[in-house]
Structure 1
Amino acid sequence: MGGKNQTDVSHFFLLGLTDDPTVKPVIFCIFLLMYMVTILGNLLIILAVCSYSHLQTPMYFFISNLSINDICLSTTVIPNMLRTTQTQDQSISYAGCLTQLCFVLLFAGFESCLLAAMAYDRYVAICYPLSYTVMMNFHSCALLILFSVLISVLNMGLLGLMVLRLSFCTNLEIPLFFCELSQVMKLACSDTLINDILIYLATFIFGGIPISGIIFSYVQIASSVLRISSVKGRCKAFSTCGSHLSVTSLSYGSGLWVYITSSVAILPKKTSVACIMYTVVPQMLNPFIFSLRNKDMKGTMKKFISKVASL
């Protein structure tokens, strides 16, 4: 293949989920509906937490931040996909592709850090209940969020800048519906060794460390809960972790599936379909998981929806 310097690259081409023009309208409608559900569900979570004082606790503070992040990640990916599906124009500008790539890195990294912070919050609440209000005060929660944002921004900036140094070949087709870092790097003609090393390092920081922290937290939680004599007390303690465990399993499970699929899939379309599982589906399901598995949130959401409906 002939080489082409990155300054000469004006557009990439997103192949999307299908080439069949008869299927594209169906995909457009499905993803538009999923996007609307994602926005509405997460907005309801945010407004409910802001509107009711009994939900203004560290746990719900982290949940509302996760909802904001889910809205941002979905908005980074889905609207452009809807545009390319509707207009049949699969191109995305070089600057647009790099911007989308960076924002996906930012919000995916922040979500990973946030899930770890939520696990730490449950660990403190169950293992150190008497010190919970001191250890998890507003200042501590704000610092955790600020640290998560800063490290995610640094990761986005570093990996984004390293993409700028790459030169690309004449084949500029990305077999996904959005610009994903590893797929963009596969189009490069220049050496990507440094980029690969940085990606492995970022995977360790945003994958290995948070997962290790979550596992440690839940091992300690399980140990503390099993020491509770009453069955009712055990069930109550575990119930406070159910939503977070479900969301964490969905997020990391879908991410692992994408990694395995992209490594072994022969057909690029399979990778594209798999990517839906970590950029679209979890963000849509998270509000339902928190609402249905949490009694306080379920009751508040019903009250809030009834209040809005009566206006």
Structure 2
Amino acid sequence: MPAVSFQSVTKTYNTPKGPFQALDGVSLDIEEGEFFGLLGPNGAGKTTLISILAGLTRATQGRVLARGHDVRIDPAQARRQLGIVPQELVFDPFFNVRETLRIQSGYFGVKNNDAWIDELLENLGLADKANANMRQLSGGMKRRVLVAQALVHKPPIIVLDEPTAGVDVELRQSLWQFVARLNRQGHTVLLTTHYLEEAEALCRRIAMLKSGRIVALDRTSELLRKGSGSVLHLRLDGVLPPALAARARVTGNMVQLPVRDAHDIESSLAALRAAGLQAQDVEIRRADLEDVFLHLMAAPAPLAPENIAV
């Protein structure tokens, strides 16, 4: 039995401009103990899918199961399987950190939970903030508390919706070490993130959403293999020739060009020289998950969900 099963999930919102389809027949299973990545650009439907799993939004069509419990028919049991870290910073300003975690434990009927709360505080760098009021915490510290709240009842399924957005490097490192440990202990992890290097390092399988449909679903290693090739990195002062600009990724004066072989590399550098441009800090590396992601997002969307090979 999968830990999480999305079965032909469709969600349509009624808007002043007419119906908007946020999800279009999404089907995928996440196995017990899996570290699974759900990727896509803003508006692809990731948060809608998680909201349906959490019982915060109802699917227009389809079913969602959490360890066999239908989130619509058996919401209480389904919710007990889940620990969800939302994107938004939501907190009660009247309690300190420890009180917040004790109250969260009570929502799930968990008593005498202080030993696990202490472990969460220690592993998430909150031990010295245990008695601090939530209003006194920085944004990064509040996000750490959200993670602790999601884990306080030791859920078998951990859902992380952009957990490291806008937080410091220290939290990212400590969070991933702790979550990876929980995953090794058997917890299933579902992650959405815009930091694709995190997904590449952590997730064994990845689904990519575009306009509410799955456009890729495979093991991370297979996605990287299918996107095999090289990328030419260089620093450049000036404007790229149109032929190169059409396929380049440019961030400030850093340029990344996909290249197939040595001849393609030399042709690209020759085109730069012909345009009177001097390339600096030239480096060649293998394509990574970000390259695969951008290629898939640029490709035309499939005609129907059933066309996806999984």
TM normalised by structure 1 equals: 0.23
Largest Rg, 1 or 2 = 2
Bigger RCO of structures 1 and 2 (CA < 8 A, at least 6 apart) = 1
Which has more strand, going by share of residues?
2
TM normalised by structure 2 equals: 0.23
Which has more helix, going by share of residues?
1
